[in-house]
Structure 1
Amino acid sequence: MIEVASVTKSFTVRARSGRIRRTRTTVRAVDEVSFTVAPGEFVGYLGPNGAGKSTTIKMLTGILTPSSGDVRVLGMDPSRQRTTLARRIGVVFGQRTTLWWDLPLRDSLALLRHLYRVDTAAHRERLAELTGLLELGPFLDTPVRQLSLGQRMRGDLAAALLHDPQVLVLDEPTIGLDVVSKATVREFLQVLNTERGTTILLTTHDLGDIERLCRRVMIIDHGRLAYDGGLDRLRETVGAERVLVVELADSGPPIELPDVPDVIVERVEGPRQWLRLPRTANPATVVAALAQRHEVRDIAVRETDIEDVLARLYRGDQAYWCSGRPVAP
């Protein structure tokens, strides 16, 4: 569905140097990025601010032309076949709307039918389906300017999907949404991907979106692709620790396990203790050692939050991250 081969996008930045002179600096927003997205995949595209996410999205949708390299979406060159491609993909930019501000949502969607040249019967059927899935009914006749952020975002999703695209590209679709609106959008996207087989590429800073929706993540930093794979492998790559929450029969001092090195007791609250395990440690070995020395009532293993994993990457804690070498999936 999507093919990106050695793509680079450079910009010229002008800065004042003294009172009159200005200097020019070339900045590579995207630097030799390559990846593919197969039909039916739901891929998260992550990175800190300024990493190159939105620039990549704009090249995939034909808004920007690559400085070098090759981009293909549904077999087309987005910058040269932008109009044709627009009829087969859907795009949502969370901070911008494609709806008409002064028109009711229903009229905006009707205008888009003409822009995408959707058959009247197909439009009616598709609108009814999207109205049910996205719960648009109560505000279809409300002017867009009077919609809440969550309602407008659902309207933008409907607008992007009216023509039944094969690929959906989302740039921060849940930014600023409340908990209920986020849940509605996430549930809809999951249904869209699993039941209709729509290929989805999602950029977001909300890692709850990634953990709930994406089976694969790509991470970009300083324009370079630094990771491409699953969330579990990402935790392993970073060396993120697990946390073992142990509830003993009685309160006592911090647990000591001389036979299991590098286990650290992080917190003690009465009979409950939190043990941090290195990634290389086998939880079963730790549990067995605990059972030999203590009476254990309950035990649970918790993975490191994805927020903590990415925070370590963004701080440059890992040598491979600093070097900019892509990590194989």
Structure 2
Amino acid sequence: MITVEHLHKSFVTRTGGLLRGTRGTVDAVRDVSFTVARGEVVGYLGPNGAGKSTTIKVLTGLLVPTAGRVEVGGLVPWRDRRRHVARLGAVFGQRTTLWWDLPLRDSLDLLRDVYRVPAERFRRNLAAFTEMLELGPFLGTPARSLSLGQRMRADLAAALLHDPELLFLDEPTVGLDVVAKERIRTFVQHINAERGVTVLLTTHDLTDIERLARRVLIIDHGSLLYDGGLPDLQTRFGGARELVVEFEAPPAEPAVEGLRMLSVEGPRATYAFEGAAARPIALVTAHAPVRDVTVREPDIEATIRRIYEGGLLRAPEP
């Protein structure tokens, strides 16, 4: 669905005033390459200023790259913009595609005309999205009067009315409460599984990534640093795993040779370990009678933070 080869995007900068200033360039994206298959949900991660937005703007046709090859569904986004935008949807957490003073129903009807959606398909999609996203109570409400959660659900419906093949999601759950986040995640899972919509997701809420994406791309300082699955990311950079052991009775000596004990409370003890769990489990079961054992994986948010702060994945020097 998406092919990106050696993408490079530079911006011209000027310092010191208009007449006597000095011109320079800033590389927002440098030599980025990746592919996204049809039907995939891929998380695109990176700190602010890493190059995520620039990449998305190239993929949507808003920016022309300085160098490299980009195709989305067989089209070059900035050359075939009319055909390209007819096949994609986009939801940006800080912006809306709805008309501010119109009732939601009228905004969706206008978008039907914009995308030339056949009447029967529009009715079918609107009915399905109204049910799944619970839009009914505010279809007659102007966009300016919607809560943030209602507006995000409405923007999702608006982005998908024309049955796009590809959906760009940028911070789709930012600022939402737990219930609203869960409703949006469930909806995205549904349209991916049932309609085969390819999704490229950028977010700082890593629960979105854990729930929706099997694969992540990590970019920093304009360079792609990681392309792979979440489990492999956790294995390589997640640090220690935890073994939570429920002994049959509080052990006389909770420390287990070969494991680092993190805490102990009555019959329950927690140990840190690296690598496979088989040996640590064997050690604790040989140490004392055990009622239950649970392996707790490192938190994905802590893993990503360690990567950014510790430079575990380093961008090449420009």
Would you say same fold, with TM above 0.5? yes
CA drift of 1:323 comes to 4.5
Partners of 1:253 and 1:23 in 2: how far apart? 70
Shift of 1:24: 3.4
User: How far apart are the structure 2 equivalents of 1:314 and 1:163?
Assistant: 38
| Alignment partners' CA distance in 2, 1:238 and 1:24 | 40
- Contact 1:30/1:52, CA 8 A, preserved across alignment: yes
1:298 match: 292
Aligned partners of 1:236 and 1:139: how far apart in 2?
Answer: 45
* Cα deviations by residue, 1:264-305 (Å, 9 ceiling, x for unpaired): 1122223322211013xx322112121222222222100001
TM-score by length of 2: 0.95
Q: CA deviation at 1:252?
A: 4.7
Q: TM-score, normalised by structure 1?
A: 0.91
* Deviation (angstroms), 1:251: 5.4
Report the AA paired with residue 322 of structure 1. Answer: R
Deviations 1:121-161 (A, max 9, x none): 22112111111111111100001100000100111111111
Gaps of 5+ in 2: none
Over 3 Å counting, the alpha-carbon distance change for 1:121 and 1:265 in structure 2 is same
Percent of pairs identical after alignment? 58
* Alignment of 1:268 onto 2:264: yes
Q: Confirm or deny: 8 A CA contact 1:33 1:225 kept in the other structure.
A: yes
Between 1:200-209 and 1:290-299, the stretch displaced more is: 290-299
Shift of the 323–55 alpha-carbon distance from structure 1 to 2, 3 Å rule, reads closer
Aligned to 2:179: 180
- Kept after mapping to 1: 8 A contact 2:256/2:283: no
Q: Within 1, Cα distance between the matches of 2:316 and 2:209?
A: 23
Structure 1 range deviating more: 58-67 or 230-239: 230-239
Post-superposition offset of 1:200:
0.8
Q: Determine the structure 2 residue equivalent to 1:278.
A: 274
Paired residues of 1:40 and 1:197 also in contact (CA < 8 A) = yes
Matched residue count: 316
1:148 matched to 2:147? The reply is yes
8 Å contact from structure 1 (residues 252, 271) kept in 2: no
Deviations 1:39-73 (CA, angstroms, capped at 9, x unpaired): 11111111111111111111100111111101111
Moved over 6 A (4+): none
Contact 2:220 2:315 (C-alpha < 8 Å) held by counterparts: no
Whether 1:313 aligns to 2:312 is no
Partner in structure 2 of residue 322 of structure 1: 314
Shift of 1:21: 5.4
User: Matched residues in 1 for 2:28 and 2:266: separation?
Assistant: 52
Counterpart mapping for 1:175-254 below 5 A: 175-238=174-237, 240-248=239-247, 249-250=249-250, 252-254=252-254
Q: Deviations over 1:76-126 (max 9, x none)?
A: 111111121111111111110010000000000111111111112221121
CA distance in 2, matches of 1:98, 1:231: 32
Q: Distance in 1 between matches of 2:91 and 2:238?
A: 34
The alpha-carbon deviation at position 241 of structure 1 amounts to: 1.8
Give the whole-Å Cα distance in 1 for the aligned partners of 2:179 and 2:29. 35
- Report the Cα distance in structure 1 between the residues aligned to 2:77 and 2:143, rounded to whole angstroms: 29
Identify unmatched segments of 5+ residues in structure 1: none
Structure 2 counterpart of 1:130: 129
Residue 286 of structure 2 aligns to a residue in which SS? helix
| Partner residue in 2 for 1:51 | 50
For residues 95 and 304 of structure 1, the distance between their equivalents in structure 2, rounded to whole angstroms, comes to 31
Q: CA RMSD in A?
A: 1.8
1:152 and 1:145 mapped to 2: Cα distance? 9
Asked whether the equivalents of residues 316 and 322 of structure 1 are also in contact (C-alpha less than 8 Å), the reply is no
Equivalent position amino acid for 1:265 in 2:
M
Aligned to 1:115: 114
